[in-house]
Structure 1
Amino acid sequence: MLKAVRLVVAAIGAAGMFSGIAAAADAPAVTYLPASAAATFENAPAIVEGASGKNVKSTIYVFMDPNCIFCHYAWKALQPYEAAGLQVHWIPMGFLKPDSPGKAAALLEAQNAPALMRELETKFSEKDESGGIKPLDKVSFATQTKLNGNAKMFKDFGFDGTPTIIYQTSGGRWADVSGLPHLSALPALLNLPEQAITDPSLQRFR
């Protein structure tokens, strides 16, 4: 079993895979993962953003839905850290809205997935909570299999909301936090120096 061991439970809004996370947590819900789990999420179909090669100082994995507004806020919050050496593997699923699977499939099938990811987020409608790319009209069997695999992994680990961020602690253990942590928690979580975040939409997460 891939089930994670939950050590801290925090109320961070609506729980459950099909509702997403409604707010940042004062004390994020932290879960430690078995060491054997690393190979599973490291090989998950994902969009890789940020630092590459010798410039990578820290790596995280994020389960997301293209229409999840708190995934969108996480993307914006992580941009300065990507410039400082963070590599992010965005693991897409499609469950929040009818066009979520088509948008997630578009990300996985894109020739330049990081560029399409940026378009998704820079054109994201916060009013409508809708990612800013067109969904594929038809999701191929191969791509749907990848999305199903990501969703199964999410459930098997016992995760309960998006975004779910998987990171390596300073002690070398893999852990996850469900929801968007407060901005002040990011340096310790990412093991990187604090970066300036000036986006007005993120100020309530300080």
Structure 2
Amino acid sequence: MSIFARILPATLLVGSLIFSAQAVASQAPEAIQDSTAGLADEAVTPALEKPEPIKHLENQGLEVVRNFPVGRSLVGWVVSFDGKDLVVYTTADGEYLINGVILDAQGVDLTEEHQRSWLPRPEWQDMETAHYLTESSLYQNEDGQTETRFSLYMFFDPNCPFSQLAWVAMQPYREAGAEIRWIPVAYLKPDSRHRAAALLDAEQPAELLALNMENFGQSVAELDVAIENHHREQLQANMDLMQSLGINGTPGWVWLDEEDELKTLSGMPRLPRLAEITGLPRQEHPETELMRYR
């Protein structure tokens, strides 16, 4: 899965480029984007002549909210189009507009940082508006009652290999008390929408999710369903929520820390980080596919 920025000389298909965040981290698992990391101290630039691509899009209904510098080569623009807020970029010469993911020399996703810094961000209670399926906690307390000790939302594409690894990694944490609410999005492969629709409609969604993950990359008849308009609307709403959180790839983690502050993370973290995220005891992971994340 490649990562690139889309450069458009005077037109823009508004909508962020989405990619599997682990395409960067596949070379270095620790290179993931995390809302706990500090943001660059960037100030809004003084009033500046709008480049031609921006002017062209204003004629199509684009509204400019503000702009900010991105090194010497780019200018970032916070814009609103068709009721959505997003970040785009223009080149220093004003000739091109870029709608996509900007990486720095270290592979850091600057777009994700800029989205967190400049765009309105949902709160924890807004996550309930997502269309999701739940894998419940399997932990039993001293009274023999099932107890949820931690809740996590996870954006995933049914065809994302790093979402599959996240699923494997989180299963022991369910035994320790974690509840995982899986929010499907669909962008990686043509059948991602069919698989996501099947999961959202399933009578036993957790069992079907396990079937997808345990037979990853294989054809599964139960996951091949027709796409209806309500599926498209649900998946688009999930994608909009994902983008509004500044998450530009899957798996996308959303949780509350010990101080009830909303945190996000894109990609597959190293396994010791899962105990930090969940606040639960570190779990053992004998799976060979997770070896490189230990």
TMscore range, shorter length: 0.7 to 0.9
1:103 & 1:145 partners in 2: Cα distance?
A: 15
Give structure 1 stretches of 5+ with no counterpart: 1-12
Q: Secondary structure at the match of 1:61?
A: strand
C-alpha contact (below 8 Å) 1:163/1:180 kept by paired residues? yes
Specify the alignment match of 1:83 in structure 2.
Answer: 175
Amino acid across the alignment from 1:47: L
Q: Which amino acid aligns with 1:148?
A: Q
Asked whether the equivalents of residues 65 and 95 of structure 1 are also in contact (C-alpha less than 8 Å), the reply is yes
Could you say what the CA RMSD is over the residues aligned between the two structures, in angstroms? Answer: 2.3
Relative to the length of structure 2, the TM-score reads: 0.59
State whether structure 2 residue 130 is matched by structure 1 residue 38. Answer: no
Identity fraction in percent = 30
Letter in 2 for 1:21: Q
Q: Say which is worse superposed, 94-103 or 22-31, in terms of deviation.
A: 22-31
Aligned pair partner of 2:213 in 103, 121, 126: 121
Q: Greater share of helix residues, 1 or 2?
A: 1
Q: Identify the residue that residue 29 of structure 1 maps to in structure 2.
A: 33
Distance 1:158 1:123 in 2: 30
Whole-Å Cα distance in 1 between the matches of residues 232 and 3 of structure 2? Answer: 27
Once the two structures are TM-superposed, the CA of residue 35 in structure 1 deviates from its matched residue by 8.2
The whole-number CA distance in structure 2 between the counterparts of 1:96 and 1:37 is 27
CA distance in 1, matches of 2:3, 2:242: 17
RCO higher in structure (CA 8 A, sep ≥6)? 1
Deviations 1:79-131 (A, max 9, x none): 00011100000000111000000000000000100000010011113xxxx67
1:66 maps to 158
2:149 pairs with one of 57, 73, 89: 57
Higher mean alpha-carbon deviation, 185-194 vs 49-58, is at 49-58
Q: CA deviation at 1:135?
A: 3.8
Q: Matches of 1:133 and 1:204 in 2, distance apart?
A: 32
Q: For 2:154, what is the secondary structure of its paired residue?
A: strand
Normalising by the residue count of structure 1, what TM-score does the alignment of the two structures yield? 0.83
Q: State the distance in 2 between where 1:111 and 1:196 align.
A: 31
Aligned counterparts of 2:219 and 2:276: Cα–Cα separation in 1: 29
1:185 matched to which residue of 2? Answer: 273
- 1:1-206 equivalences in 2 (<5 Å): 14=3, 17-22=18-23, 23=26, 25-26=29-30, 28-31=32-35, 37-51=123-137, 55-125=147-217, 132=220, 134-206=222-294
Instruction: Name the CA distance, whole Å, in 2 between partners of 1:106 and 1:73.
Output: 21
Separation (CA, whole Å) in 2 of partners of 1:98 and 1:57? 37
5+ residue gaps, structure 2, are 5-16, 37-115, 139-144
> Which of these two proteins has the greater Rg computed from alpha carbons?
2
Q: In the TM superposition, what whole-angstrom CA distance separates every residue of 1:57-91 from its partner, at most 9, and x where no partner exists? A: 00000000000000000000000001110000000
Amino acid at match of 1:59: S
CA distance in 1, matches of 2:155, 2:219: 15
Letter in 1 for 2:187: F
Cα separation, 1, equivalents of 2:179 and 2:156: 15
1:197–1:133 Cα change, 3 Å: farther
